[in-house]
Amino acid sequence: MGKGVSGIIVAGGKSSRFGSPKAFAEKDGIPFYQHTIAAMEPLVESIVLVSSSELITKFTSEGTSVKIITDNPDIAGQGPLAGIYSGMEHLTSEWYFISPIDIPFINTRTYEILLEHIGAGKEAIVPIVNGRMEPLISIFHYSIKEKIKEQLRCNELAPRQLFQNSQVAYVEIDDADPFRNINYQEDLERYIKTREGGS
């Protein structure tokens, strides 16, 4: 169990391109969100999943082991930063793993690599994969919370913007598989075939 580390899984969004709520789509017979929980659980003290109000009943009926909440009412619907802020309001911790709901290939080792880079003065640990920043699969320090609040107040909703005035450690990660987000049903089928050596 990681001391002073909690997890925030952001499950907002309409999944319109996917055709159904991605949180409940399955890989290997397991819902996407459960893959993320399983990857985080060995390293954190607690996990909160921030969902849209429409999906609360579905999550509850599945009997998930983590706390399910919605965005704080005053910032509801303001994108991933609203979900992250709401999660930070709900859980008191020094560090927070941040994750979206649509990365069913995520694994514990990826989080461990990021965790190795936390330290004094750092406000965020952000992976770089194939030259691209992955701001929503990161580790945030509690001190960044007020900056998120200010961005939301100013309606500046882009997560990348948060890092411009923050102390960030960027971590190059060679393995892109854990970061593959699934936007379409075809994406999932293609990635599974690729991993199995198919064409």
Position 194, amino acid: T
Q: Between the CA of residue 19 and those of 13, 24, 163, what are the distances in Å? A: 12, 12, 32
As to burial, measured by CB atoms within 10 angstroms (0-12 exposed, 13-18 middle, 19+ buried), residue 29 is exposed
Task: Read off the pLDDT of residues 23-50 as tens digits, 9 standing for 90 and up.
Answer: 788 888 888 889 999 999 999 999 999 9
Place of tokens 């004094």: 120
Range of the domain at 133: 5-195
Confidence class for position 4, pLDDT limits 50, 70, 90: very high
Half-sphere exposure of 71 (CA within 13 A, CB side): 21
Residue 192 has pLDDT above 70, yes or no: no
Eight-class DSSP state of 24? G
Task: Read off the pLDDT of residues 114-123 as tens digits, 9 standing for 90 and up.
Answer: 999 999 899 9
Q: Which of 159, 137, 183 is nearest to 82 (CA)?
A: 159
Place of tokens 């080792």: 109
Binding residues: 10-12, 22, 71, 102
Mean pLDDT of the region 3-14: 82
189 token code pair: 């089928």
pLDDT at 194: 62
Position 14, amino acid: K
Q: At CA 77, angle to CA 104 and CA 134, rounded to 5?
A: 40
Binding residues for Mg(2+): 102
Task: Read off the pLDDT of residues 149-165 as tens digits, 9 standing for 90 and up.
Answer: 999 999 999 988 999 98
Q: What's the CATH code of the domain at 24?
A: 3.90.550.10
Residue 16 has pLDDT above 60, yes or no: no
The phi, psi pair for 176, rounded to 5°, reads -85, -15
Mean pLDDT of the region 106-131: 95
Confidence class for position 197, pLDDT limits 50, 70, 90: low
Please count the helices (runs of H) and the strands (runs of E) in the chain.
Answer: 7, 10
11, β-bridge pairs: 51
**Structural domain count of the chain:** 1
pLDDT at 1: 37
Residue 195 has pLDDT above 60, yes or no: no
Binding residues for GTP: 10-12, 22, 71, 102
3-state secondary structure 85-149: HHHHHHCCCCEEEEEECCCCCCCHHHHHHHHCCCCCCCCEEEEEECCEECCCCEEEEHHHHHHHH
Task: Read off the pLDDT of residues 62-84 as tens digits, 9 standing for 90 and up.
Answer: 777 799 999 999 999 899 999 99
* pTM given for the model: 0.87
Q: Which segment of 14-23, 62-71, 100-109, 176-185 scores lowest on mean pLDDT? A: 14-23
